[in-house]
Every structure is written in C-alpha cells, then in structure tokens.
Amino acid sequence: MAYLALRQLAKSYDGVTRAVDGISIDVDKGEFVTFLGPSGSGKTTTLVMVAGFEAPTSGEIQLAGKDLTRLKPWDRNIGMVFQNYALFPHMTVARNVAFPLRMRRVTKAEMARRVREVLALVGLEAFAERYPRELSGGQQQRVALARGLVFDPDVLLLDEPLGALDKNLREQMQGEIKRIHREVGITMIYVTHDQTEAMSMSDRIAVFSRGRLEQIGKPLEVYHRPQTRFVGEFVGDSNFFHGRLEAGEMGKVMIEGFGPIRVSAEKLRAVDHARAVDVMVRPEDLRIVEGESARLNAVEMLIDTIVNYGDSLMVVGRAGKLPLRMRLSGQAPDLVEGAAIRVGWAPEQAHLIARS
C-alpha cells in the first residue's frame, strides 16, 4: 500500500473547467517526489489539496491508510513551505520556528529542544534571536524549512520554495534540501516549473499539463523515455519530427522533410501498433559527421545561430525546412553562422512516441 495515495483527485472552481482532472499518484514513505509543470498545469492546486487548504471536488487523499480528504489542515500533520517564506516579521527566528509547536501546546522544555535541533539541522543555530528582516533570502527560506519540519510532520510539502532566490543561492539550497531529506528521511512533495531543479533533486517526477498527469517516473526515465510529446518538449531541449512507419521499410521511420531514418528495433517494438509517430532526438545526441559514417543517420544542417554557454555550444539551424538543434560540450570545433555542416545521430538515440 502506498504511504500517500491520491485517487482520481479533481478540482473545479466554477463547476465547468477542471483545474485538476483525475490525478492519481502513489508516494512511498520517505520518497522525494516533484510535481513539475508550467503555470496553470494543476501542480500547486494538487499540493494545496494535499495540505487541506482546498477541498477536492472529487477523489480521495489517503495517508498511511487514513482518509484525509475532508480533514482540516491542522488535523493532517502535514508541513508546508511557501515560496514567499510567510514568516512573522515581529517574531524572532526561534519564535517563528516554534509557532507550530505552540499551536500544538508542546511544553516549553520540549519546544526549546526541538527548535534548537531543527535550527542546527538547517545551519541557523546562531541566528535564533534575529528577526526575518535581518536575514538574507536564503536564510529566511531555511527558517521556513525549519518551521515546516519542527513538529515532525508525516509529509512536507514545498511550493516553489526557491523561486525567489538567485541562481547560485538556488543551487546551494537544492543541495541543502536534499541533504535534509536524506538525514531526516521525511516524505517530501516539491512543486516547481524548473526542469533542472526537478531532475537534480527528485526520486521521481510527476509531469503535469492542463490539470492532468502526463507521466510519472524516475528523472532519467522521464528525460530519455517521455511518454508524450509534451513531456519530451517540457523536460529538456529536444528535436521533434513527424514520422510514419512504412510497410516494407523494416527498421526505418519515414520523416516528413528529409526521408527515412534508421531506428533501433527496441524503439520500433514500443510503437508497433502505431502508424504515425513523433521522433525525438535530444540536441546532445547529435554530433558532427566527419567523413563517411554509415552507422549514423546523417543530414545537412545550415547553421543559423550559435549560443555559447561556456561549457557547451548550442548550434541552432535547419535541415531542409526542419528546425534542428545540436549541443556540443567540451572543446567544440570552430563553427560560423551561415555555414553548412553534416550532423548525425545513432539509430538507438531516436525515441519514438505514438501519435493519436
């Protein structure tokens, strides 16, 4: 039995449109699951229904076999960390962290012990008597994290908690949250629209779109084997081509725009019921073809733009009328915009998705 189970969860605010439409997810005890999707995809609405701040229109929420669906937030023993920190400005760090314990009428001695321990966990024991205005953004987020952990919740929910931080601090806090997750072993559900954040932190990723669950799986599974075109386009950079399977063309897919390409037998078996397919090739799987390479699917690419990221180059161009992107890492060759080059990819690097 799943530790946290969402069963056909739905939410409509107007009785017509569903912000969340039949979401079912099982979360194991101690697991770190990220809800990933664009704005309006239903990920935060699902999270606040788990917290109890919104009542579902239909469906169930169960925790350790107990039905939480109609319980009030304070009866769920679930912690919540918000993007805007939601700290009390007139309270010290210690009093902010202790607030959930005071609401639960914990004794002063036990309260002091728990606050001391959780502030040590987030590295803020020396800041206990400071006020939120005296802290940096990262320190304020650590206070919010400590407050969410101090009462030993069954599940900790984090709603885009790093969205207000700059890139370097955000990456530092990602590592801190993962460290705390490992040390405490608590079940965490994390909401973000940042695919890199989701990939680097999660045990599993649930990808949302238009109120529906597109796919849930381990990060590399979602990245390399997306089940829908939306997932392939939203998680990472991608090249997508329209293709079709032709009778008599064994081991090949006909691509609209530049003809047949070879695909591995394993990838073809996965869509053997389909005639029309989307073909996905990640930009990092493309390489410059030098001389003859009969094993690769090779095409002529006209370079439009070259973007230098320091550790890699993104080469953007066209193969015939089809847009094409290639990422080159390490020591890249000298390339110029407007030049024509020959690029290719191996048959096993093309991922096929059946089109309805």
Tens-place pLDDT, residues 78-109: 999 988 888 999 999 999 999 999 999 999 99
User: Do residues 199 and 311 both lie within one domain?
Assistant: no
User: Do residues 211 and 284 both lie within one domain?
Assistant: no
CA angle 332, 338, 342 (to 5 degrees): 55
Beta-carbon contacts of 352 under 8 Å, excluding residues fewer than 6 positions away, are 243, 253, 263, 267, 268, 270, 271, 277, 278, 279, 280
User: Do residues 214 and 253 both lie within one domain?
Assistant: no
The CATH number linked to 191 is: 3.40.50.300
User: Do residues 47 and 171 both lie within one domain?
Assistant: yes
- Neighbouring CB atoms inside 10 A of 183's CB total 9
The boundaries of the domain holding residue 151 are 4-229
| Domain end (from 207, 229, 251) | 229
User: Do residues 169 and 190 both lie within one domain?
Assistant: yes
User: Do residues 107 and 246 both lie within one domain?
Assistant: no
What is the domain count for the chain? 2
| Domain end (from 229, 251, 283) | 229
| Domain end (from 212, 229, 246) | 229
Is the pTM above the cut of 0.85?
yes
**pLDDT attached to residue 83:** 84
User: Do residues 166 and 303 both lie within one domain?
Assistant: no
**pLDDT attached to residue 292:** 67
User: Do residues 219 and 270 both lie within one domain?
Assistant: no
**Burial class of residue 237 in the structure, from the number of CB atoms within 10 Å of its CB (0-12 exposed, 13-18 middle, 19+ buried):** middle
User: Do residues 99 and 202 both lie within one domain?
Assistant: yes
Q: Which residues in the chain show pLDDT less than 50?
A: none
User: Do residues 140 and 178 both lie within one domain?
Assistant: yes
**pLDDT attached to residue 149:** 96
